[in-house]
Every structure is written in structure tokens, then in C-alpha cells.
Chain A
Amino acid sequence: MSGSNLHSSGELSHLADEESENKTPLLADLRLWAVIGIIALLAAPHFFYPVMVAKVLCFALFAAAFNLLLGFAGLLSFGHAAFFGFSAYVTGYCLQSLGLTAELGILAGTATGALLGLLIGLIAIRRQGIYFAMITLALAQMVYFVCLQAPFTGGEDGLQGVPRRSLFGIIDMTSNMSVYYLVLAIFCFGIFIVYRTVHSPFGQVLKSIRENEDRAISLGYDADRYKLMAFVLSAALSGLAGSTKVMVFQLASLTDVQWQMSGEVVLMAVLGGIGTMLGPILGATIIITLQNELAQIGSLTTIVQGAVFVACVLLFRRGIVGELSHRWNQWRGRSIEPASEAQESRSEV
């Protein structure tokens, strides 16, 4: 059985490439969007509660890290909460019990994500498709039980009241505003890493593995090594996102490491658009906003999330951004099929 991935169905195969290839102004010009986005985000805390916007940024980074794996390497991990949550615990522990400065705590969390990603990746990479999803899920559940029982995690209570240590020992982090701008800087850095990865020779190899693993192997690429590297990178960025979450909320808890969190990040990416740069960011924004609106009735959040999931899979598998850019291309009279064919023939060269 050859590796099945989300893009072999053909329907989605053009998605990731549309952005990099087309020169369509509105949705695809990432530089324009980046500038608008950064200006908006710099101004945002003056209009909204900064902690809330920072939360959206943390989860947007998490979703982008997850999407790096699913959208561009075709690997559906159902265990990303492990990296997000466990790194949050490590950062929390470093700040609270070891008294490290903010940047060291975040670094420790990111490194933990990468290391955990290497361990889980080495095992999970042996199987593909749905097996891969189930194995990552099971291994992440193992991490959950470790967090539940390990002495440093505070069990059911989690780590509460984690102090916001100063950055480099100089810059005060106690105000919500300063934490917001730290998170914004980290977010931009993380998204830039994802963007550079996708648009690098390494990213091209990943895409070729996603499209046709056997052919990539026959061309001499060590597919498993590339997939493992993508997995570790995605895990490290998820860990970075988890670490920033601790800085914002001063809290690391079991919610961050539960498998429902792994599902949530999948939902964010699917809703926004798998394999697009903006999709996960938009998806995270929608889901977090939704959760805040429905927070009073916990069970309702689950129902709505489930319904959104079902609707996404049945009705718009491209996600919002994917669907919009697809419509935009159709409206401009561009046929999608020749584009993806051209892409394919190019990748053969």
C-alpha cells in the first residue's frame, strides 16, 4: 500500500501551489497581506483586550506549525497537543521554579518541543496516512498521562500563577501590553520560518514527497528523513507557541496537552484552508473567537466545533482561504486544472 495523503485525491493538490505560483493580487500577494496584517496587529491591542489578541496569535502560530506538516508534507498528526502542552509545562517550570528569564524559558520550551517531536516522529514516521494519525494520537495521549502524573506538572491543578520574568533580565514583562508585543514578535518570527521553509528547496522536496513519495524516493531523496525533519520543525514551532501561551496566561494546564486540543488545531487548519499560509491564522482567529463567545456554555462549544468540522469536510474541503482563492481564480477566468498540470510537469524537471 503506497502512502496515501490528503492531496492524492486531486481536489486539493493545487492548493498549496496556487499561492507560490500565481501572481493574483488580492488573496495571493503575501507581502501586501503581511504588511497590512502587521500594521493591524501593531494597532490591535489599543482596540481589543491585548490578552485576547495575544491568545489568538499563540494559537495561530500553533495552527501554522501544524499546517506546515499537513499542508506541505501531507502528514496528518493528531497529536500536536503534546508538543504545545508539554512545552508549556516546561516553560512554566523554568519560569516558576528555576527562575529563568523569559527568553530562556521560551527557548527551553521550544527545544523541548523539538526533542519530543524527534522522539515521537521517529516512531510515527514508520507508518503513513491514517496509521500515522492514530499513532501520533496514541503517543500524545502517553505524554498526557505523563503530564498528569509527573511531579513537576502540578497534576490536575497544572502550573498556576507562573511569573512573567523580564526579558533578557532587563525588559519588564509584567504589563499585558509588553507581553503582547513579545508574542507578536515571536508570532511574526514563527510565521516567517514557516514561510521560508515552504518556499525553500527543502519545502519543494516535501511537496514532492506529499504528491508522490515513491517517485521522490526514486529520485534519491531520503523521504523518511525529510518527513522527520518537517515533523521536528513543526513540533518545535508548536512548542514555541505553547511557551508563548504560558507567558500570556501565566498558566500551564492539562487542557493544553489533552487530545481535544490536537483536534482543535486540526479544525483550525481545515477551517482556514489546508496548505495555505493565511488559512491557519484565519481558522485560529475564528475558532478562538467562537470559543470566547460560547464560553458560558461549555458543551455548546463542543457541539458547534463538531458541526463546523462535519460541514468543512462535507461542504468546503478547501477551507475558507482555499475556497476564496479558488473562487477568485475562477472569477478571473483562469482554469485551475492547467495550472496544476503545469505545476506537476515543472516538478518533474
Chain B
Amino acid sequence: MALLDIPLPVFMGQLLIGLINGAFYAVLSLGLALIFGLLNIVNFAHGALYMVGAFVAFLLLDIMGIGYWPSLLLAPVIVGLFGMVIERLLLRPLADLDHLYGLLLTFGLALLLEGAFRHFYGVSGERYAIPDSLQGVFNLGFMFLPVYRAWVIVASLIVCIATWLLIEKTRLGATMRAAVENADLVRAFGVNVPLLVTVTYGFGVALAAFAGVLAAPIYSVNPLMGSNIIIVVFAIVVIGGLGSIKGAVISGFLLGLCEGLTRVFWPEASNIVIFVVMAVVLVVRPAGLFGKAA
């Protein structure tokens, strides 16, 4: 039985695409989970900032001739700083209000960013070449694995694990987790909580931009690339349980795979399978797979 008559290379190919999508989902939902943890804001602009990250990489190359590897570091830093400005100027005044206002504000921000890039670059998208050092393919015997795609998976895993270690094992992470539990108390210990909030938002946004740079050579750099992915990421975050870092990463990869598998067996349903999973999870476990019950 060759897997229900589906050739192995096709099967593995779809699984690989699923894994790569899962890598993006994981990095994006990780950033969302971080921001939600400390700011209590669902960052609707996350998809737009992912798109901005890709565009910054494109512009760095186009205008200044800065290549892929420096961009992988530079673009997240630039977008992260931009995020910190957003947090100070726009999100801080909403901190004491209902969380829904943060959602609405970042939604407006997403429209602004998307509209601005569409105004200047149209919707056709820009090409971003795979760097020379990541050209070529691995021959796995049953299929060919492009080097760049393997790199995307490895890089995402590294970033996810590093972030997890940062949150769980370092003093800074401990302070952050404490600030989530009780901000006033942490402030009484002399920690600059507002600064911590700003930096966290910047870091979460930088993660989105990092995903954007990783995506640039695979998908075309397009003003609409963020709005297509963000709703899937929202569904994944609901599945994983919004507060959970671990839940964000694991469900990101798992649902990417799930989507890939569906594409093999029932291609028409691949776009909606994640939402179906979300509905089922909500019925069985309303708090999400890794979330604490409310």
C-alpha cells in the first residue's frame, strides 16, 4: 500500500510544505503569545508587521545592496524598534482600557500599513532571490529537498527554542513572567515594568519581521502577504491556548503539518482544515490545548 495510492514524493512534498508553513505559523503565534502575555493585547498588526519585515529586507537589498544574511538580523531590529515606537505612542494610552481597544487599534494599524505598501508597490509583489549560500537541493533518495526550505525549518526551530529558553530559564524571562502575574508587585521590586512592556512588544514584533525575512525568498514580497496568514495564526493561537508559549510553537508546527496532510488527501479542504480543528478544539477544550482553564 503506497499510502492510499499517493506517490511517496508527492506525499513527502506536501508534508514538507506543511512543515514550512508550520514554521511560519509557529514563529508568528509565538510573537503573538509573548505580546498577549505582557500587554494583554491581541496584536492584529502582526501580519502587517510580518509583511513589513519582508519589505524591509527587500528594500535593504534594493536600495543599499545589503544582502540576505545581514538583513536577517537588521530587518527584525528595524521593525522591532518601529514596534517599540508604536507601543509608546499608540498602545500605552490604551493600557488601562478594555483589551478590545488594543485589538481595534492594531487592526487600524494593519490597514494603514497594508494600504501604504499597496499604494507604493501595488499588489503584484517583488521578487527576492534565495541567497547563493542556500541554493541547491539535498537528495533524500525518495525526494529532493531544497536547501533554503530546510534552512527555514531549522532557523524557525532555533528561534522558537531560544525564545522558550529566554522566557523559562533566564532572569529576564522570570521577571517577565512575574510581571504577567502581578505587574504592581514587580514594579515595587524596582523593575521598570513599562520599559519591559515596550521591549517585549518590540521583541514580539521583531519575531514577526524575522518570519517575514525568512518568507521573502519563498513567497513574493507582497503587501497582502500578512493579511492572508494572520487569521490562520489567530486560529492556531486559539487552538494552542493564547497565553501559552509552548502551545503557540507546538500547535503552529502541528497545524502546518495537518494542513499539508489535508492537501494530499482532500485538497479543497486544506484552506479550512485549521478552522475546523479550531472549532472541534473549542467544543472539547474551550481553553485551548495548552491553555489553563478560565
Assuming the A-B contacts A130-B103, A138-B275, A146-B272, are A303 and B282 also in contact, with contact meaning beta carbons closer than 8 angstroms in the complex? no
- A148 — nearest CB in chain B belongs to which residue? B271
CB nearest to A70 among chain B residues:
B100
Q: A5 — nearest CB in chain B belongs to which residue?
A: B98
Q: Which of B99-152 contact A (CB under 8 A)?
A: 99-101, 103-105, 107-116, 118-119
Closest to B114 in A: A302
Tell me whether A139 and B279 are in contact (CB under 8 A).
yes
A contacts with B: majority SS: helix
Encode contact with A along B215-238: 1 for CB under 8 Å, 0 otherwise.
Answer: 000000000000100011011011
Could you say which of A53-61, A89-97, A106-114, A308-316 contacts chain B? A308-316
Contact B231 A141 (CB under 8 A): yes
Residue A317 CB within 8 A of the other chain: yes
Chain B interface secondary structure, helix, strand, loop or mixed? helix
Q: Quick check: is A11 within 8 A (CB to CB) of the other chain?
A: yes
**Cβ of B192 to closest chain A Cβ, rounded Å:** 24
Residues in A whose Cβ lies below 8 Å from that of B7: none
Q: How far is the CB of B259 from chain A (nearest CB, A)?
A: 12
Once the chains are docked, how many angstroms separate the CA of A312 from the CA of B234? 24
**B93 near A: Cβ within 8 Å?**
yes
Contact indicator A9/B97 (Cβ below 8 Å): yes
Q: Determine if B294 and A1 form an interchain contact, defined as CB atoms under 8 angstroms apart.
A: yes
Decide: B99 and A129 in contact? CB cutoff 8 A.
yes
Inter-chain contacts of B100 with A (CB < 8 A):
4-6, 76, 129-130, 133
A269 to chain B, nearest CB (A): 10
| A259 to B232 Cα, complex, angstroms | 12
Instruction: Verify A300–B115 contact, CB threshold 8 A.
Output: yes
Count of residues in B whose CB is under 8 Å from the partner chain: 44
Q: Which of A123, A131, A314 contacts B105 (CB under 8 A)?
A: A314
User: Complex formed: what's the CA distance from A79 to B168 in Å?
Assistant: 36
For residue A255, CB closer than 8 A to chain B, the reply is no
Distance of A97 Cα from B271 Cα, bound (Å): 27
Return the chain A residue nearest B236 by Cβ: A138
Contacts of B275 in A (CB 8 A): 138-139, 141-142, 145
Is A126's CB within 8 Å of the partner chain B?
yes
B residues in contact with A76, CB < 8 Å = 100, 103
Is residue A299 contacting chain B, with contact meaning CB distance below 8 A? yes
Q: How many A-B residue pairs have CB under 8 A?
A: 138
| A305 closest partner in B (C-beta) | B111
Q: Given A6-B98, A133-B42, A138-B231, check contact A306 B103 (CB 8 Å).
A: no
User: Is the CB–CB distance between B268 and A149 below 8 Å?
Assistant: yes
Chain A residues positioned under 8 Å from B271 (CB to CB): 145, 148-149
Residues of B within 8 A of A297 (CB): 119
Does B172 count as interface, using CB distance less than 8 angstroms?
no
The listed residue (A131, A259, A309) touching B108 by CB distance below 8 A is A309
Q: Considering the complex, give the chain A residue whose CB is closest to the CB of B119.
A: A299
CB of A127 within 8 Å of the partner chain: yes
Q: Collect the chain B residues with CB atoms within 8 Å of residue A130's CB.
A: 42, 99-100, 103, 242
Tally A residues with Cβ within 8 Å of B.
50
- Is there contact, CB below 8 Å, between A266 and B104? yes
The reply to whether B99 and A123 form a contact with Cβ atoms under 8 Å apart is no
In the complex, chain A residues whose CB is within 8 Å of the CB of B176: none
Least Cβ distance of B108 to chain A in Å?
3
Residues of B within 8 A of A7 (CB): 98
Closest A residue to B111 by beta carbon equals: A306
Asked if A303 contacts B111 (CB within 8 A), the reply is: yes
B108 touches A134 (CB 8 A): no
Q: For the complex, what is the distance from the CA of A6 to the CA of B102, rounded to whole Å? A: 11
Asked whether, in the complex, the Cβ of A306 is within 8 Å of the Cβ of B94, the reply is no
Question: Complex formed: what's the CA distance from A317 to B104 in Å?
Answer: 11
Assuming the A-B contacts A123-B279, A313-B94, are A138 and B235 also in contact, with contact meaning beta carbons closer than 8 angstroms in the complex? yes
Tell me if B108 and A306 are in contact (CB < 8 A): yes
**Is the CB–CB distance between B97 and A302 below 8 Å?**
no
Q: What is the distance, in angstroms, from B267's C-beta to the closest C-beta of chain A?
A: 10
User: A304: which B residues are within 8 A, CB to CB?
Assistant: 115
Residues of chain A within 8 A (CB-CB) of B96 are: 9
Docked complex: A144-159 residues within 8 A CB-CB of B: 145-146, 148-149
A residues apposed to B, CB below 8 Å: 1, 4-9, 11, 76, 123, 126-127, 129-131, 133-135, 137-139, 141-142, 145-146, 148-149, 259-260, 263, 266, 270, 297-310, 312-314, 317
**9 closest Cβ pairs, A-B complex:** A309-B108, A306-B111, A302-B115, A306-B112, A303-B115, A142-B275, A299-B119, A138-B235, A299-B118
A-B contact pairs, 7 of them (CB 8 A): A129-B99, A141-B275, A301-B115, A306-B108, A306-B115, A307-B112, A314-B105
Told that A141-B275, A145-B271, A306-B108 touch, could you supply 6 new A-B pairs with CB distance under 8 A? A9-B96, A126-B283, A134-B237, A141-B232, A310-B109, A313-B108
